[in-house]
Amino acid sequence: MITSDGSTTIHLPEWNEQYHSKHGAIQEAYHVFIKSGLETVSAPEVSILEIGFGTGLNSFITLLEAEKNQQKTHYVGVEAYPVIKEEVACLNYVTQLKAKNHQNIFDKMHAISWNQQHQLTENFSLIKRQQFFQDINDKNIFDLIYFDAFGAEHQAELWTIAIFEKMFTALKINGILVTYSAKGSVRRAMQEVGFVVERLPGPQGKREMLRAIKK
């Protein structure tokens, strides 16, 4: 389906849920993950874990930022249920982002093998891991987590203390987790495992979002 900013997302009729905000897939991704997450990491090198690789939008805009800012970016995208090539073919992010010279890179993001590191540009490497979030066991590796799982109303088990313990463990000290969610239960689960949590203005169509820091 086409979202309000002209960018596409995938609609799941059985849940009446989308991979991205219907108010704009690209505007949501930039607001939540770039503006509220990546732009707060000023180091010349950054390691990112994405929970929910999905359409590859968050990964692709992060690659564009890495090239623009010459920031070495090591990206790990975890996805249990990869999108299929027929769905990828319907996504218009390259056109909407005016990045036509990167079409081959976006296509490659989806075509490359899973569970192996691929150097896609001089400043951006990607590992896609086909894995359930409950099986993540990284320790003190990441500077930043993009937490982009489906909403708690559909997959409550992904927004629990147990999952956020894994996120806390995966981050380095002073590492940051950002998510579009602002639910009170999510904030309390983050705080329970030790995160310092702040509410931030949300993207268009959403009043608030959350940012959590591992102090």
Would residue 134 count as lying in a domain? yes
Structural domain tally of the chain?
A: 1
Instruction: Return the SS3 of 86.
Output: helix
Tens of pLDDT along 106-132?
A: 999 999 999 999 999 999 999 999 999
pLDDT at residue number 15? 83
Average pLDDT, integer, range 23-44 = 97
Query: b or e along 153-178 (b: 16 or more beta carbons within 10 Å of the residue's beta carbon)?
Result: eeeeebbbeebbebbbbbbeeebbbb
Tens of pLDDT along 152-188?
A: 888 999 999 999 999 999 999 999 999 999 999 999 9
Q: Band of the pLDDT at 134, cuts 50, 70, 90?
A: very high
Would residue 102 count as lying in a domain? yes
pLDDT at residue number 14? 86
Based on its alpha-carbon atoms, the radius of gyration of the chain, rounded to whole angstroms, reads 16
Nearest CA-CA partner of 20 in 85, 86, 124, 92: 92
Q: Specify the DSSP element, H or E, that contains 155.
A: none
> Residue 3 has what DSSP assignment?
-
Would residue 82 count as lying in a domain? yes
Average pLDDT, integer, range 147-153 = 91
Structural domain range at position 182? 11-213
pLDDT at residue number 69? 97
Specify the residue for token string 């309390």: 188
pLDDT at residue number 126? 98
Would residue 81 count as lying in a domain? yes
Residue 93's φ and ψ, nearest 5 degrees, are -65, -40
pLDDT at residue number 152? 87
Task: Read off the CATH number of the domain in which 173 is found.
Answer: 3.40.50.150
Give the pair of three-digit tokens for residue 150. 């489906």
Count, residues in the chain: 215
Nearest CA-CA partner of 76 in 35, 117, 37: 117
Q: How buried is 150 (Cβ within 10 angstroms: 0-12 exposed, 13-18 middle, 19+ buried)?
A: middle
More confident residue, 153 or 201: 201
Q: Band of the pLDDT at 31, cuts 50, 70, 90?
A: very high
Give the whole-number percent of the chain exceeding pLDDT 70. 100
With 90 as the cut, is the pLDDT of residue 211 above it? yes
Average pLDDT, the chain: 96
Predicted TM-score of the model (pTM): 0.97
Nearest CA-CA partner of 80 in 118, 133, 127, 116: 133
Q: Which amino acid is at 29?
A: A
Would residue 6 count as lying in a domain? no
pLDDT at residue number 154? 85
Would residue 130 count as lying in a domain? yes
pLDDT at residue number 186? 97
Nearest CA-CA partner of 51 in 173, 179, 195: 179
> Residue 32 has what DSSP assignment?
I
How far is C-alpha 43 from the chain's CA centre?
19
**Would you tell me how many other CB atoms lie within 10 Å of the CB of residue 187?**
19
Would residue 90 count as lying in a domain? yes
With 90 as the cut, is the pLDDT of residue 143 above it? yes
d(CA 26, CA 34): 11
